Structure 1
Amino acid sequence: MARNPERRTALVDAAIDVLAHEGARGLTFRAVDARAGVPVGTSSNYFASRDDLFMQAGSRINHRMTPDAAEVEHAMRPEPSRELVTSLMRWLVQRMTDDRTGYLAMLELRLEATRRPALRARLTETVRAEFDRNRSLYQDAELPGDAHTFLALHLAMTGLLLEHLTLPGVLSDTTLDHLVDLVVTGVVPDHRA
């Protein structure tokens, strides 16, 4: 296997682009090489199999979607409140919108995981760990509500992102910020009540 980490990252990012634009069936070594602008056969020198490429893409997407710890610390400075949750959810939506390709590629990976048990196990582990980290962050910050509030917020925001990034015209009669406000107001209790 080739050992150039920068090229490996570029190839995995190309794989993410292929997933987002062509779907899991379009993810081939040849397609990755073309997207990365490298000679045919390059990606097969970096990845043992197509399954390996799927796994590496999933890891890289998770890395791209995870904010820097310093950014999280800065975002969590205000006092815990529904307003802070709204701000955090707007930030989440903005980050996912900014990396629309990564989010769509993750959706493709999730669909492919229904057919590939090893990928399903790996994605389940990764997504569950991220869910647990976010739930702990929510609870440790003493944001309004409880574990059920966090779960409902997680599910609502997942649905909002799915709708916005796949069929944005469905909810085009309102702004994304307004939709986030509706979700947070409907799910998170008002700390002043």
Structure 2
Amino acid sequence: MVRNPERRTALVDAAIEVLAREGARGLTFRAVDAQAGVPAGTASNYFASRDELFTQAGRRINVRMTPDPDLVAQAMRPEPSRELVTELMRWLVRRMTEERTGYLAFLELRLEATRRPALQAELNRAVRTEFEASVDFHLSSGLPGDADTVKVLYLAMTGLLLEHFTVPEVLSGTELDDLVATLVERIVPR
């Protein structure tokens, strides 16, 4: 396989764009080459199979959706409280909205993982690692609630984001910020 890390990253980013726009069936080497603006056959020189391309896209999405540590430190300046959790969840929604392509591609990968064991293993590892880091962060930051609070909040927020990105009319007429505040109020103890 060819070893040019910048080109490889550009190809994986192109794969994420293709996934978000065309879905898993549209993710072909030819589509990735076209999206990346490289000669035909380039992606197949970097990835041994579509399975590898899917797995690499899963890893890259995780990197793209992880917030900058300096921004996290800045967000954590206020005292730990339910209000701070609300602001953090609103920030999450804004970040995912800004990274809409990555989030939609991630949803595609989740569905495709039901058919591709290697991808499922990668997503299980990555999502579990991120979830456990979120629990540790929540608890070590002194935010209200316990590990179960974080788990329920995670499930509520992933459901909210799924609706927001896939069937937005379901939540029409409801301000997303207000809905986030309601979720936090119902889930996170004072």
Q: TM-score range by the shorter chain?
A: over 0.9
The percent identity for this pair of structures is: 71
Aligned counterparts of 2:29 and 2:14: Cα–Cα separation in 1 = 10
Partner of 1:114: 114
Q: Kindly report which structure 2 residues correspond to 1:1-193, keeping only aligned pairs within 5 A, or say none.
A: 1-190=1-190
Aligned counterparts of 1:2 and 1:116: Cα–Cα separation in 2 = 25
What TM-score do you get using the length of structure 1 for normalisation? Answer: 0.96
Which runs of no fewer than 5 residues in structure 1 stay unpaired? Answer: none
Q: CA deviation at 1:162?
A: 0.4
Aligned counterparts of 1:179 and 1:3: Cα–Cα separation in 2 = 46
What are the Cα deviations for residues 57-115 of structure 1, in whole angstroms up to 9, with x where unaligned? 00100000001111111111110101100010011110001011100101111101101
Aligned counterparts of 1:163 and 1:173: Cα–Cα separation in 2 = 13
| Amino acid of the structure 1 residue aligned with 2:126 | T
The ranges of structure 1 where at least 4 consecutive aligned residues each deviate by more than 4 angstroms after the TM superposition are: none
SS of 1:67 mapped into structure 2: coil
Aligned-residue CA RMSD in angstroms? 0.8
What are the Cα deviations for residues 99-142 of structure 1, in whole angstroms up to 9, with x where unaligned? 11100101111101101111111110110000000000000011
Which runs of no fewer than 5 residues in structure 2 stay unpaired? Answer: none
What TM-score do you get using the length of structure 2 for normalisation? Answer: 0.98
